[in-house]
């Protein structure tokens, strides 16, 4: 797929979202405003397809996720849950949602959640998989699943506990309260709160700063931060060490005296003497 061809809208295979691309920026809009953009099975499937399109693009550097109609996302469409099927099919559906959040989190593009109105349940889980969250001062968030008699499935306990700790995660999930945007910033769930009506302007300000950066360095930083936080200290430092080497290589300091510099790959393709010698010596060595 041509990188500049990343685009989608209603009528282009999407019914419940719009995906618009302009230059280096993709904008994904959840578009079920009549139900506060809650995540139907179809919308969730469409989000995965849209994220795959963004993932495949070399041109897109930034992704904004927002909701239509003055609200972000009111979570999963509870009315559809009886359609999920039996217990095993429910597990499959939850695994699909986990794939959606993991795909979002692992994009090498910078992701920004633009939040106004409600970001609860699955909507809050989307924000936790983004790199930045910019919210208006009228936004409200929470995990009210407990009052429906269900539990979160794709970040409401796992990502949240890694972001704010187990005690606060229990407070959010066991009580089910709806909290202010300011509280989300205090807890390090979101980045910043701005006055209602200034969301687009603040996103533009953030993009202006990010566009000045070395994007390869940004991609590497995303990777080592996200992977390192899940690892022990010494493993995480290994990621930093490898990233430093990659930084040197992409900045032009790539020549290592005792490296192949691609000769091994060329030798394999041509079945040259280098390949034949290496394989002849190795393939039966200590073989049993």
| Contact in structure between 19 and 53 (CB atoms under 8 Å) | yes
Q: How far apart are CA 147 and CA 274, in angstroms?
A: 67
CATH number of the domain within which 61 lies: 3.90.226.10
| Contact in structure between 67 and 11 (CB atoms under 8 Å) | no
Residues 19 and 56 in one domain: yes
| pLDDT confidence band for 166 (50 / 70 / 90) | very high
Residues 204 and 226 in one domain: no
- Give me the pLDDT at residue 54, please: 98
Q: How many domains does the chain have?
A: 2
- Three-state SS at 198: coil
Residues 141 and 69 in one domain: yes
Residues 202 and 220 in one domain: no
Residue 256 lies inside a defined structural domain of this protein? yes
Q: Which domain holds residue 222?
A: 215-282
Residue 258 has pLDDT above 50, yes or no: yes
Residue 288 lies inside a defined structural domain of this protein? no
Q: How far apart are CA 40 and CA 74, in angstroms?
A: 11
| pLDDT confidence band for 13 (50 / 70 / 90) | confident
User: Over the stretch 171-192, which tens digit does the pLDDT of each residue have?
Assistant: 999 999 999 999 999 999 999 9
Angle at 129 (CA atoms; ends 49, 210), nearest 5 degrees: 95
Residues 26 and 59 in one domain: yes
Residue 275 has pLDDT above 50, yes or no: yes
- Give me the pLDDT at residue 7, please: 57
Q: How far apart are CA 276 and CA 219, in angstroms?
A: 38
Average pLDDT, the chain: 94
Q: How far apart are CA 46 and CA 35, in angstroms?
A: 17
- Give me the pLDDT at residue 4, please: 42
- Give me the pLDDT at residue 282, please: 96
- Give me the pLDDT at residue 162, please: 96
| Contact in structure between 41 and 94 (CB atoms under 8 Å) | no
Residues 39 and 77 in one domain: yes
What is the secondary structure of 202-242 as a DSSP string?
A: HHHHHHHHHTTS-HHHHHHHHHHHHHHTTS-HHHHHHHHHH
Residues 238 and 199 in one domain: no
């Amino acid at each position: 797929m041509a990188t500049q061809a990343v685009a989608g809208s209603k009528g282009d295979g999407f019914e419940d979202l719009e995906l618009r691309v302009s230059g280096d920026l993709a904008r994904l809009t959840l578009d079920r405003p009549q139900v506060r953009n809650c995540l139907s099975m179809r919308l969730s499937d469409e989000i995965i397809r849209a994220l795959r399109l963004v993932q495949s693009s070399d041109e897109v550097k930034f992704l904004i996720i927002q909701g239509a109609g003055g609200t972000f996302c009111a979570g999963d469409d509870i009315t559809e849950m009886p359609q999920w099927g039996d217990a095993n099919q429910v597990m499959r559906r939850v695994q699909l949602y986990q794939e959606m959040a993991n795909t979002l989190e692992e994009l090498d593009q910078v992701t920004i959640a633009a939040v106004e109105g409600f970001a609860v349940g699955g909507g809050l889980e989307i924000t936790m998989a983004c790199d930045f969250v910019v919210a208006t001062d009228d936004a409200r968030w929470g995990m009210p699943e407990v009052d429906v008699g269900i539990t979160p499935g794709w970040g409401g306990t796992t990502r949240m506990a890694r972001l704010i700790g187990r005690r606060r995660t229990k407070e959010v999930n066991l009580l089910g309260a709806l909290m202010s945007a300011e509280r989300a910033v205090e807890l390090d769930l979101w980045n910043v709160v701005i006055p209602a009506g200034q969301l687009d302007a603040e996103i533009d300000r953030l993009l202006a700063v990010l566009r000045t950066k070395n994007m390869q360095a940004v991609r590497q930083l995303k990777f080592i931060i996200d992977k390192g936080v899940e690892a022990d200290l010494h493993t995480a430092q290994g990621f930093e060490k490898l990233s430093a080497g990659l930084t040197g290589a992409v900045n032009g300091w790539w020549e290592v005296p005792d490296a192949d510099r691609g000769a091994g790959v060329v030798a394999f393709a041509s079945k040259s003497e280098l390949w034949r010698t290496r394989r002849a010596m190795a393939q039966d060595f200590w073989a049993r």
